[in-house]
Amino acid sequence: MEELDEKKLWELAVAAREYSYSPYSGFKVGAALLSRGGKVFRGCNIENAAYSPTNCAERSAFFSAISQGERDFEAIAIAGGKDELISCYPCGVCRQVMAEFCDPCTFRIICGKSRESLEVMTLDELLPKGFKMQD
Ligand SMILES: O=c1ccn([C@H]2C[C@H](O)[C@@H](CO)O2)c(=O)[nH]1
Ligand SMILES: [Zn+2]
């Protein structure tokens, strides 16, 4: 995936953020998950009055994709912030879900607060020595 495509994927995360349901934190997050087949699955964070049922944008995107039969992923872009976007990285729970389905050395996570300041990391960088099925 070229740099241009990473920017495009991040723009789709920004668009997905518009659907965020976050009346409790006011922190809106969008994610765009790219499959190896070139499909994009979007997700947003969905909060709840009981707090703990809240789902992050990243997991919403993964669960949507997996529910539609997709299991082969290339990259995810994330855009989050209250009124303004900030550099928003996936939480530990989402990193663990990524580890279930993605190759840690090749799956890329794209974060940033603007098209011009995107950071691209592998899952292995964000979740080194993760716990996996074979463990
Ligand atoms: O990477 C992140 C970090 C936080 N959130 C959500 C969870 C909650 O709704 C809000 C504040 O934590 O942001 C995400 O969706 N993804
Ligand atoms: Zn999360």
Mean pLDDT of the 60-66 span: 98
* pLDDT one-digit tens code per residue, 11-53: 999 999 999 999 999 999 999 999 999 999 999 999 999 999 9
CA 115 – ligand 2 centroid, Å? 22
* Band of residue 4 on the pLDDT scale cut at 50, 70, 90: low
Q: Which residues contact 81 (CB under 8 A, 6 or more apart)?
A: 27, 28, 88, 113
Q: Which residues are known catalytic residues?
A: 58
* pLDDT one-digit tens code per residue, 88-116: 999 999 999 999 999 999 999 999 999 99
Measured from CB, residues less than 6 Å from any atom of ligand 1 are 22, 25, 27, 29, 45, 47, 54, 56-58, 80, 88, 90-91
